[in-house]
Amino acid sequence: MNIEDVKNIIAGDIIFSSNVGETLKKWREIFGFRQKEIASVMKINQSMLSDYENSRRRNPNISFIRRFIDALIELDMMKGGEILKKIANFNKHDYFERKNFSKGITIQEFVDIIDGKVIVDAGDKNSIIYGYTIVDSIRVILDMPEDDFPLLYGGIPDRAMIFLGVSTGRSPMVVIRIAPIKPKVVVFMNLETVDELAKEIAKRQRIPIISTNLSIAELKERLAKI
Whole-number pLDDT of residue 93? 62
Whole-number pLDDT of residue 84? 86
Handedness of CA 170, 205, 110, 222 (dihedral sign): negative
Domain boundaries, the chain: 3-90, 96-223
Check if 3-90 and 96-223 are the same fold: no
Q: Report the 10 Å Cβ neighbour count for 194.
A: 20
- Whole-prediction pTM: 0.64
* Averaged pLDDT, 174-201: 93
- Looking at residue 18, what DSSP letter applies? S
% pLDDT > 70, the chain:
92
Please report how many Cα atoms fall inside a 13 Å half-sphere around the Cα of residue 179, on the Cβ side. Answer: 25
Place 12 in a pLDDT band, splitting at 50, 70 and 90: confident
Contact 79, 41 (CB under 8 A): no
Whole-number pLDDT of residue 13? 82
**Beta-bridge partner residues of 132:** 99, 160
Mean pLDDT estimate for the chain:
90
Highest average pLDDT, of 75-89, 174-188, 204-218, comes from 204-218
Task: Decide which of 181 and 205 is more confident.
Answer: 205
Q: Is the pLDDT of residue 195 over 80?
A: yes
8 burial via Cβ count (<10 Å: 0-12, 13-18, 19+)? buried
Q: Is the pLDDT of residue 95 over 80?
A: no
Q: Is the pLDDT of residue 209 over 90?
A: yes
Whole-number pLDDT of residue 147? 66
**Beta-bridge partner residues of 106:** 128
Whole-number pLDDT of residue 181? 86
At the topology level, CATH places domain 96-223 in 3.40.1390
Q: Is the pLDDT of residue 90 over 60?
A: no
Place 63 in a pLDDT band, splitting at 50, 70 and 90: very high
Whole-number pLDDT of residue 102? 80
**Nearest to residue 6, comparing CAs of 113, 118, 88?**
88
Q: Is the pLDDT of residue 1 over 70?
A: no
At the topology level, CATH places domain 3-90 in 434 Repressor (Amino-terminal Domain) (1.10.260)
Task: Decide which of 98 and 139 is more confident.
Answer: 98
Highest average pLDDT, of 54-58, 81-85, 98-102, comes from 54-58
